[in-house]
Amino acid sequence: MALVTAKGVEVRVGNKRLLHDVDLRIEAGEIVTVIGPNGAGKSTLLKAIIGAVPIGSGRIDKRAGLKIGYTPQKIQLEKTMPISVGRFLSLAGSFSKGARSEVLDKTDVIRLRDAQMTDLSGGEFQRVLLARALLRKPDLLILDEPTQGLDQPAEARFYRLLAEVRKETGAAVLMVSHDLHVVMAQSDQVVCLNGHVCCSGAPAQVSVDPSYKELFGVRAELALYEHNHDHSHDHSHDHGEHSHD
């Protein structure tokens, strides 16, 4: 059975219809990436799946006992709240200190355990969020724009980390991303969203879809190019660049 099945989902906030007629299916272990312009409802869809946004019509079914690890797009971490990385992780629930160290180690931020969250760089912050999501040993990771605001090297490091985590845990991933070239190279399924699902399917299938080209224009062509490019260099990419940070 699929991990998550959404059918005809509609989300309204006030008078605004943010999503309508959204169908989505996430199978165990697959990477599903949601792309689309700003205001397309990408984050809303993710929030609807975790249950943080009520759906007007349609339905979202989750496999019984499905464990979701979620990283929000942003956290209201004003400079006003003093909190260390370690304490932030402990807020996830009753997990042992050992379990907390393990995920911090896995995401390579264990040395930051005592650092204040407000002192972290964008990349470090995302790794801490991912660590917290991993604590629950999720079957499905839901990541809302995990590389937003990261520079290119940090972004590359994050995707490499994500690939490692997946290899280890076998968790499925549902994420919102703007990095078209990565999306095309790494996803099993791409969902092109603009209030509704414009097109979805395997990357190769989506990249030739007229509605995809319409939404992303020149960038789409570029991504397709990089997609092929990435493939031929896949191996040199994966090795030897590990302990930079």
- Which of 19, 88, 134, 220 binds other proteins (CB under 8 A)? It is 88
Which 12-41 positions form the footprint of other proteins (CB under 8 A)? 13-14
Q: Which positions from 187 to 226 touch other proteins by CB under 8 A, shown as an x/- string?
A: ----------------------------------------
Closer of 46 and 191 to other proteins (Cβ): 46
Which 98-127 positions form the footprint of other proteins (CB under 8 A)? 116
Q: How many other CB atoms are there within 10 angstroms of residue 221's CB atom?
A: 12
CA 84 to chain centre: 24
Token digits of residue 185: 């190279």
Q: How far apart are CA 14 and CA 123, in angstroms?
A: 35
Stretch that binds other proteins, among 79-87, 146-154, 163-171, 230-238 (CB under 8 A): 79-87
Of the candidates 43, 12, 20, which has an alpha carbon nearest to the alpha carbon of residue 196? 20
Closer of 39 and 217 to other proteins (Cβ): 39
Alpha helix positions (H), 141-202: 152-169, 180-186
Closer of 80 and 232 to other proteins (Cβ): 80
DSSP category for residue 12: E
Closer of 68 and 199 to other proteins (Cβ): 68
Number of chain positions touching other proteins (CB under 8 A): 31
31-35 and 16-26 strand pairing: unpaired
Q: Determine contact, residues 5/174, Cβ cutoff 8 Å.
A: no
Helices (H) and strands (E) in the chain, counts: 9, 9
SS3 43: helix
Closer of 116 and 169 to other proteins (Cβ): 116
Stretch that binds other proteins, among 4-12, 32-40, 45-53, 167-175 (CB under 8 A): 45-53
- Side chain identity, residue 121: S
- Which of 38, 64, 65, 93 binds other proteins (CB under 8 A)? It is 93
As a residue count, the chain comes to: 245
Percentages of the chain per state (helix, strand, coil), in multiples of 5: 40, 25, 35
Which 132-171 positions form the footprint of other proteins (CB under 8 A)? 132, 136, 142, 144
- Which of 1, 8, 21, 81 binds other proteins (CB under 8 A)? It is 81
- Which of 1, 8, 21, 52 binds other proteins (CB under 8 A)? It is 52
Of the candidates 155, 158, 153, which has an alpha carbon nearest to the alpha carbon of residue 141? 158
- Which of 4, 45, 68, 224 binds other proteins (CB under 8 A)? It is 68
Name the site residues for other proteins (rule: CB under 8 A). 13-14, 47, 50-52, 68-72, 74-78, 80-84, 87-88, 91-93, 116, 132, 136, 142, 144
